[in-house]
Amino acid sequence: MKKLTLSEIAALVDGELKGEPNIEISGIKNLDEAQKGDITFAVAEKLFDKVKDSKASAFILPKNWPHKEERPAIFVDDPYLAYAILANEFYKRPFKPMGIDKRAIIGDGCEIHSEVSIFQGAIIGNNVKIKNGVTIHPGAVIGDGVEIEEKSEIFPNVVIYPGCIIGKRVRIHAGSVIGADGFGYAQSPKGMVKIPQVGIVIIEDDVEIGANTTIDRAAFGETRIGKGTKIDNLVMIAHNCKIGPHCAIVSQVGISGSTKIGTGVMLAGQVGIVGHIEIGDGVKIGAKSGVPNSVKAGQVVSGIPAMPHRRFLRVVNYVKKLPEIVKEIREIKKRLDKVEKNEQ
C-alpha cells in the first residue's frame, strides 16, 4: 500500500502544514469513514462538528478555517481540488501493457504499438492506428481508419465509428458511441431523404466521456470536443458541434447540430440547446434550461427559455405566488365592479 508523509502531501497540494511532517498517511477518506492512518478534508466551516468527531490522523482544511486545530492539518486555497490531486496520487493505477489478447479481432493494415492492452472480444477494424499506453477493454469496437493517441482508455462496449480521431489520455466509458451518423434528413413528397454524414469526430487530449454518451459525426468536416472537456453519462452531442476546451457537460444534456460552445462553459443536467447558435466563453447554464438563442460570454442563465439567472429566480418566485396573485386580482375586480355599479 502506498504511503506518503504529511510533508510530501503538503508539497503535492501546495498547502501549509501545521503539525508533525513525518506522519505517514496511507489513504484519503471522507470525514465519517476516516481512521488512523487516513487523511480527510473539509471544504467549509459548517463541517466543524464532523472534523471534531473524525478519527483521521490529519486534515486538509481551507486557509480561512476559523477554529484552532490541535491535530495535524494542511491548509489550502481549495480543499476539494487538493482532495482530487491527492486521491489521484493514492489510487492511480500504473499502466502495465498486456499486449493484444489472442481472442481480440484485429483488421488488416493496423499500426499498433507494442505497449498496449487490448482485451478479449475487442474488435479493431482495418488501418487503425493505436499508440503506446492505450487500453481497449472487452467488447469495444474500433472502426476502420480510427486513430487513438497515447495513454487513452476505451472501456467495454464503446463503439468508435470509422475515421474518428481520439487524442492523448482520453477516457471513453462503457457503452458510449463516437461517430454515429448525425440526424440529417431532407423532406420530399415521398418522405425523408437521408443526408450522407461523411465527416468525422475529433476528441482532443485529456477529454473524459461518460457512459452511454453519444457524439455524432459531422455531415461534412468535423464534430470536435476540445482539450480537457469533461462530459457526463447520457449526453447527446449532435453533428458538427464544436465544444471548446475545459467545458463541463453534465448528465442528460442535449446539444443540437452545428452549435459552437466556447472555453470553460458549464452545462448543468438536462440542459437542451438548439442548433446553429453560439455559447460564449465561461457561460454557465442552469439545470433543465432550454436555450433557444446564442448566449454572450460570461453570462449565467437558467429557465425555459433561458434568461439571466437572477431574472429567472424572480420569475420562479412569482410563479410560486400565482394562486395568491390571481386571488388578489379577482378581489380587485369585484371591488371595481361595485364601484362601476355605484357610479351608474
The residue behind cell 489513504 is 27
With cut-offs at 50, 70 and 90, classify the pLDDT of residue 231: very high
Model pLDDT, residue 256: 98
Complete edge-to-edge strand list for the sheet that includes strand 236-237: 105-106, 123-124, 141-142, 159-160, 177-180, 214-216, 236-237, 254-255, 272-273, 290-291
Share of the chain above pLDDT 90, in %: 92
Model pLDDT, residue 281: 98
Mean per-residue pLDDT, 171-198:
96
Q: What is the pLDDT of residues 68-121, one digit of tens each?
A: 888 999 999 999 999 999 999 998 888 999 999 999 999 999 999 999 999 999
Q: Confirm whether 309 is a catalytic residue.
A: no
Model pLDDT, residue 1: 63
Q: What is the DSSP string of 286-311?
A: -TT-EE-S-B-TT-EEETTTTEEHHH
The three-class DSSP label of residue 99 is strand
Mean per-residue pLDDT, 247-251:
98
Give the count of beta carbons closer than 10 Å to the beta carbon of residue 167: 19
Residue 338 has pLDDT above 90, yes or no: no
Q: What angle do CA 204, 209, 215 make, to 5 degrees?
A: 75
Classify burial at 103, counting beta carbons within 10 Å of its beta carbon; exposed 0-12, middle 13-18, buried 19 or more: exposed
Residue 337 has pLDDT above 90, yes or no: no
From 137, 239, 246, 276, the catalytic residue: 239
Model pLDDT, residue 342: 80
Model pLDDT, residue 224: 98
Q: What angle do CA 262, 264, 270 make, to 5 degrees?
A: 85
201: Cβ–Cβ under 8 A, 6 or more apart, which residues?
161, 164, 165, 178, 179, 215, 216, 217, 218, 222, 223, 224, 225
Cβ–Cβ < 8 Å for 237, 216: yes
Residue 275 has pLDDT above 70, yes or no: yes
Residue 336 has pLDDT above 80, yes or no: yes
Mean residue pLDDT of the chain comes to 96
Residue 288 has pLDDT above 70, yes or no: yes
Question: CA 166, CA 146: separation in Å to the nearest integer?
Answer: 8
Model pLDDT, residue 94: 84
Model pLDDT, residue 343: 75
With cut-offs at 50, 70 and 90, classify the pLDDT of residue 340: confident
Mean per-residue pLDDT, 292-315:
96
Share of the chain above pLDDT 70, in %: 99
What b/e sequence results for 231-269 when a residue is b if at least 16 CB atoms lie within 10 Å of its CB, and e otherwise? bbbbbbbbbbbbbbbbbebbbbbbbbbbbbbbbbbbbbb
